[in-house]
Chains A and B, each alone.
Chain A
Amino acid sequence: MRARLSITIAAVMAAMLAVSVPVFGHHAFGAEFDPNRPILLKGKVVRIEWVNPHAWIHVEVTNANGTKEVWMVEGGSPNSLFRRGVTKDSLKIGAEVVVDGYQARDYTLKRANGRNITYPDGKKLFLASSAPDAEDKGK
Chain B
Amino acid sequence: MFAHASEAEMSRILEFYGVAWRYEPTTFPILWNLDGDVVESFSPDFYLPEFDLYLEMTTLKQSLVRKKNRKLRRLRELYPDIRIKLFYARDFRAMMLKYGRLGLAQSLSGTLGQLGPADRVAVDPETSGGGGTNLATAASATTGQEAAVPSRRRQRSAARAERRDGGVPA
A binds B: no
Using a CB–CB cutoff of 8 Å, the interface residues on chain A facing chain B are none
